[in-house]
């Protein structure tokens, strides 16, 4: 291949195509051009990380092979179904990077450019199928198998990094995007409990001879009280079931999540603390993207009590936050990626009450 992959992709980004993307995302042409120039190498850098991890070459080749063969024949006409194409691209990024890492990529590039996450997410959703289609074309032209495609991409890491606007590469590195995209599977988030565990470990090391005599009985007593204590006093506050009664009943959605309206005074926001849930996309059982987790609220027992989800940019209803009990979230595995799922339909999420943060719980 005489040209690097960034140059190859850039030749497809004609003024007409960028103008169409600008119209779809609500950006002016100048900003759309800048955003595209930043997004293309940023996405490619993440794909190179995917290709380098165990099993990543096969995952990347599968994603490339699933792109329509006629996608590149007329890209401007391909954008006629913009919402569907953007959703497809966003889901593809989430599948390859992991929902949290695709959200981190969107927010990092958006902050670098000074534009909102909504337009940035839509732009990356539109660019991703095009990038995958061009990778497929290069793979077929050179007769590459999955490993060859991965080597082509990882072998151009320096060229991809050089194509980024000055400072963006360092920002992506400091955000943790590259390390996390290269290794998605990590233990579930239990940050509030980490400090007490470390303290207990240190105490055990310094006074092992006396620790068992007074701590173990207290632990046994605490466990007994936890078992006997009424469960309803530790459950998350929930709104009445009538909040979701206007959602049409469907066979595939018999169980409906309960939406919260307020935060309790003793709940604490974790804000921007790194974890396995914030900035990750949320789906329903049908695979529909419902929104992005923006915050976790921690109860006085140190456990996550509720998840705050931004659903506005996915449902076309403006910026809107809803909240669900943390217990309503479940993690499903899809190949090498993980997906956070709640039992809700898009109609139910759209009709859900807006969550009101209290002063002590705001980020």
Residues 6+ apart with CB under 8 A from 169: 45, 161
Longest CA span, the chain: 76
Where does residue 209 rank: exposed (0-12), middle (13-18), buried (19+ CB within 10 A)?
A: exposed
Residue spans per domain, the chain? 5-182, 241-361
Q: Report strand pairing: 281-283 vs 337-341.
A: parallel
The series of mean pLDDT values per 10 residues for the chain, 363 residues long, is 77 85 88 92 91 90 82 58 73 83 89 90 89 88 91 91 90 77 42 40 46 59 56 35 36 62 87 76 86 88 88 64 91 80 85 75 48
Tell me what pLDDT residue 185 has: 44
Question: What pTM does this model have?
Answer: 0.50
* Amino acid 304: pLDDT: 87
pLDDT of residue 42: 92
Q: Tell me: domain 241-361, CATH 3.40.190.10, correct?
A: no
Whole-number Å distance between alpha carbons of 294 and 142: 43
Q: Considering only CA atoms, which of 188, 186, 185, 189 is closest in space to residue 55?
A: 185
Which residues are 330's β-sheet partners? 341
pLDDT for the residue 230? 44
């Amino acid at each position: 291949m005489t040209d690097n992959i960034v140059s190859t992709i850039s030749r497809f980004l004609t003024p007409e195509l960028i103008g169409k993307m600008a119209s779809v995302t609500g950006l002016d042409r100048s900003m759309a051009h800048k955003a595209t120039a930043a997004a293309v190498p940023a996405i490619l850098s993440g794909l190179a990380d995917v290709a380098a991890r165990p099993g990543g070459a096969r995952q990347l080749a599968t994603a490339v092979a699933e792109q329509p063969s006629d996608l590149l024949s007329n890209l401007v006409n391909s954008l006629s179904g913009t919402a569907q194409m953007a959703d497809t691209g966003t889901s593809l990024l989430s599948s390859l990077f992991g929902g949290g890492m695709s959200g981190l990529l969107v927010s990092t590039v958006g902050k670098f450019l000074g534009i909102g996450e909504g337009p940035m997410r839509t732009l990356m959703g539109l660019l991703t199928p095009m990038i995958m289609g061009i990778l497929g074309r290069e793979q077929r032209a050179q007769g590459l198998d999955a490993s060859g495609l991965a080597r082509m991409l990882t072998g151009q890491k320096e060229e991809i990094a050089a194509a980024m606007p000055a400072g963006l590469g360092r920002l992506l590195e400091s955000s943790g995007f590259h390390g996390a995209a290269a290794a998605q599977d990590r233990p579930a988030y239990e940050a509030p409990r980490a400090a007490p565990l470390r303290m207990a470990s240190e105490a055990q090391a310094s006074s092992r001879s006396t620790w068992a005599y007074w701590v173990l009985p207290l632990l046994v007593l605490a466990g007994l009280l936890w078992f006997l204590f009424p469960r309803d006093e530790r459950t998350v506050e929930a709104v009445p079931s009538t909040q979701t009664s206007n959602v049409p009943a469907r066979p595939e959605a018999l169980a409906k999540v309960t939406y919260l309206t307020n935060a309790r005074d003793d709940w604490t926001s974790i804000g921007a603390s790194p974890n396995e849930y914030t900035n990750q996309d949320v789906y329903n059982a049908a695979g529909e993207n419902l929104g992005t987790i923006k915050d976790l609220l921690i109860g006085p027992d140190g456990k996550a009590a509720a998840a705050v989800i931004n659903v506005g940019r996915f449902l076309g209803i403006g910026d809107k936050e809803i909240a669900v009990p943390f217990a309503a979230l479940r993690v499903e595995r899809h190949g090498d990626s993980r997906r956070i799922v709640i039992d809700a339909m898009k109609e139910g999420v759209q009709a859900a009450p807006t969550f009101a943060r209290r002063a002590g719980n705001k980020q």
